Chains A and B, each alone.
Chain A
Amino acid sequence: MTSTTRDLITDLSTSHGEPGWLRERRAAAWHVYETTPAPTWSDEEWRRTDTSWVDWDGAAPAANGADPARLALPMEVSSASVLLRQRGSMVEVLYTSPEARDADVTVVSLAAAAGSDGSMVADRLGTDLAPPSAGKLQAMNAALWSGGAFVRVPEGAKLTAPIVIVIDAADQPIFPRTLVSTGAGSSADVLEWWRSSQAATPGFANGCVELFVGAGSKLSYTHVQAWGSHTGSFLTQYASVARDAELATTNVTLGGRFHKGAIAATLTGPGANVRLNGMAYLDGEQFADHHTLQDHRTTDAASDLLYVNVLDGSARSVYAGTIMVQPHAQRSNAYQQNRNLMLQRGPRADSIPRLEIMADDVRCTHGSTTSTIDPMHLYYLGSRGLGLDQARSLIVDGTFEPVLDRIPDATVRSAVRTAVRAKLHGTAAA
Chain B
Amino acid sequence: MTATNGQTTLSIRDLHVSVEDAEILRGVTLDIPAGEVHALMGPNGSGKSTLANALMGHPAYDVTAGQVHFKGQDVLELETDERARLGMFLAFQYPAEIPGVRVASFLRLALNARRETEISVMAFRRLLMEKMQMLRMDPKFASRYLNEGFSGGEKKRNEILQLAVLEPELAILDETDSGLDIDALRIVADGVNRLRGSDLGVLVITHYQRLLNYIEPDRVHVLIDGRVVESGGKELAERLEAEGYERYGAAAASEDA
Contact = CB atoms under 8 A, between A and B. Distances in A.
Interface in B86-117: 89-90, 92, 95-96, 98-102, 106, 109-110, 113-114
B65 to A, nearest CB: 23
B109 A386 contact: yes
Q: Which of B81, B101, B166 has the most CB of A within 10 A?
A: B81
Contact of B84 (A385, A388, A398): A385
B110 A398 contact: no
Nearest to A376: B96
Nearest to B56: A383
B59 A383 contact: no
Contacts of A374: 96
Given A384-B110, A394-B106, A401 B81 contact: no
A387 B81 contact: yes
Contacts of A398: 98-101, 145-146
B130 to A, nearest CB: 19
A101 interface: no
B54 to A, nearest CB: 12
A41 interface: no
A384 B96 contact: no
Given A395-B101, A398-B99, A401-B100, A383 B84 contact: yes
Given A380-B96, A385-B114, A394 B109 contact: yes
A385 B80 CA distance: 7
B58 interface: yes
B162 interface: yes
Contacts, number: 82
SS class of chain B's interface: helix, strand, loop or mixed?
Answer: mixed
Interface string A380-409: 111111111011001101111110000000
A16 interface: no
Contacts of B56: 379, 383
A244 B176 CA distance: 50
Contact of B101 (A379, A385, A387, A397): A397
A382 B90 CA distance: 11
A399 B102 CA distance: 11
A386 B81 contact: yes
Interface string A127-171: 000000000000000000000000000000000000000000000
17 contacts: A376-B96, A379-B58, A380-B92, A380-B95, A380-B96, A381-B98, A384-B162, A385-B81, A386-B113, A390-B109, A394-B106, A395-B98, A398-B99, A398-B100, A398-B145, A401-B145, A402-B100
Given A401-B102, A402-B99, 19 more contacts: A377-B98, A379-B96, A380-B92, A381-B106, A382-B81, A383-B56, A383-B57, A383-B92, A384-B106, A384-B166, A385-B84, A385-B85, A385-B114, A386-B113, A387-B81, A394-B106, A394-B109, A395-B98, A402-B100
Give me the 8 closest cross-chain CB pairs, A-B, nearest first: A398-B100, A401-B100, A385-B113, A382-B80, A380-B96, A398-B101, A385-B84, A384-B110
